[in-house]
């Protein structure tokens, strides 16, 4: 398969020092323990494949000001369990302590550097040529022969650890990044019945995806659920009730109604909305046909008629791409729509589930092996599907062009 970026197959990595940007950002509990280590597990194959290299890992956890903004010590401990290699955690990013650890490490060993967002320049969005001038890059690049980016979940960012090394080191994608790009690129190809199912509360991003896949004739059908559906029902002229409009107003989402209305004007028949919803009446699930709206209760899931209709469309699709839950799936009363739609997706010929809440639901249900691709990127996956620029991926593409040079070969 011809790619416009380099992969691990394009380099001789044995015996080399490889600087690996990983995406280990994970939910952390009050006790400091990682609650879900999926991202660490997903990058383990890349690191295990580098068992004859010296691997230096750059990663982040949360951002300044957040309660879960902490060190990478726990991440290093979990990584060692999965790769069964020695992982040395260093509480330094590019100072003398970090540099000494890199020099002293041998092939087959892994050095986990400190949370890169402890470094103030890392939170800036910079073009690659500007990021290459950052102190982090200048200090670490001389110690490595190759830079690999495996951090798909952060690929919509343009920070120095993601794009700064690509102008100064031979650069390529790790196995997880490669898998993400390949699978989401396949999702953006037309052919057959291609169904997009968009829910959750990221309405602005979902609307961008809908516009992208319908204008480019990628999707044959778009199904809307969750808060996205509430916005589209309101755009269709339905009164969804004061609690629901109040939620949209409070969340700053009512401004998306005109955008949804324009999409319905352009692509009305291709966008399917719920015919019934489940509302939360004193903690109980009550089903309401949309013709019976408005309601005095919060819409918290799609109804059973919609679940049956949407599930039938999904299971017969050639491709289904799903991002965002259909309701408040954390509550047993309102998890039905999310669960049934995900089960239907396992019957499609090709299925992609975006990161975030949808991926968490798949993991909880234990059906990950029945989904073609379960993305590790929430915001990154939806930006990719929405046709937005992905700075870290574009940086890898530019690096390949530079490496090929005038003769067109690496």
Residues that constitute the known binding site for substrate? 39, 60-63, 117, 157
Does residue 136 have a cis bond before it (omega within 30 degrees)?
A: no
CA–CA separation, 37 vs 34, rounded Å? 6
Report the alpha-carbon distance of residue 85 to residue 14 in Å, rounded.
16
Pure H helices in 329-390: 336-345, 357-365, 379-385
Distance CA 320, CA 335 (A): 20
Give CA–CA dist 359/350, Å, rounded: 16
C-alpha 59/C-alpha 387 separation (Å) is 26
Task: Give the residue ranges of the annotated binding site.
Answer: 39, 60-63, 117, 157, 330, 355-358
The maximal CA–CA distance of the chain, rounded, in angstroms, is 70
Show the tokens assigned to 144. Answer: 């490595």
Q: Name residue 374's beta-bridge partners.
A: 353
CA-based torsion, 26, 28, 34, 36: positive or negative: negative
Judge contact between 75 and 61, C-beta under 8 A: yes
Helix or strand run (H / E) with residue 103: helix 96-104
CA distances from 53 to 16, 110, 192, 362 (A): 5, 9, 43, 34
Structural Rg of the chain based on CA atoms: 23
Annotated binding site for ATP, which residues?
Answer: 330, 355-358
């Amino acid at each position: 398969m011809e790619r416009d970026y380099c992969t691990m197959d394009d380099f001789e990595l044995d015996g080399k020092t490889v600087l690996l940007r990983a995406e280990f950002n994970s939910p952390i509990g009050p006790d400091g323990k990682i609650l879900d280590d999926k991202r660490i597990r997903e990058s383990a194959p890349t690191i295990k494949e580098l068992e004859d290299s010296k691997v230096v890992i750059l990663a982040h956890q949360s951002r300044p000001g957040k309660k879960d903004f902490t060190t990478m010590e726990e991440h290093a401990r979990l990584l060692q369990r999965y790769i069964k290699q020695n992982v040395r955690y260093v509480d330094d990013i590019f100072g003398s302590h970090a540099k000494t650890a890199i020099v002293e490490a041998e092939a087959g060993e892994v050095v986990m550097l400190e949370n890169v967002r402890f470094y103030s320049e890392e939170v800036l969005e910079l073009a690659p040529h500007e990021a290459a001038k950052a102190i982090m890059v200048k200090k670490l690049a001389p110690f490595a022969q190759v830079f690999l980016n495996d951090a798909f979940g952060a690929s919509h960012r343009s920070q120095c650890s993601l794009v700064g090394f690509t102008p100064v080191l031979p650069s390529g994608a790790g196995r997880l990044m490669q898998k993400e790009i390949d699978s989401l690129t396949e999702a953006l190809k037309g052919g057959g019945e291609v169904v997009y199912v968009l829910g959750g509360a990221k309405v602005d991003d979902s609307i961008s995806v809908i516009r992208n896949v319908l204008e480019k004739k990628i999707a044959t059908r778009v199904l809307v659920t969750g808060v996205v559906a509430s916005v589209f029902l309101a755009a269709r002229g339905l009164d969804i009730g004061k609690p629901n409009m109040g939620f949209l107003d409070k969340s700053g989402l009512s401004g998306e109604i005109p955008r949804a209305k324009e999409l319905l004007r352009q692509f009305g028949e291709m966008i399917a909305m719920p015919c019934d919803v489940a509302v939360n009446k004193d903690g109980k699930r009550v089903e309401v046909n949309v013709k019976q709206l408005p309601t005095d209760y919060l819409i918290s899931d799609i109804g059973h008629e919609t679940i049956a209709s949407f599930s039938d469309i999904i299971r017969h699709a050639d491709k289904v791409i799903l991002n965002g839950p259909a309701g408040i799936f954390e509550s047993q009363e309102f998890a039905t729509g999310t669960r049934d739609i995900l089960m239907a997706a396992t019957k499609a010929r090709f299925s992609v589930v975006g990161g975030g809440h949808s991926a968490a639901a798949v993991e909880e249900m234990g059906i990950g092996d029945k989904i073609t691709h379960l993305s590790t990127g929430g915001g990154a996956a939806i930006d990719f599907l929405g046709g937005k620029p992905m700075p870290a991926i574009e940086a890898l593409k530019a690096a390949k062009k530079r490496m090929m040079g005038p003769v067109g070969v690496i």
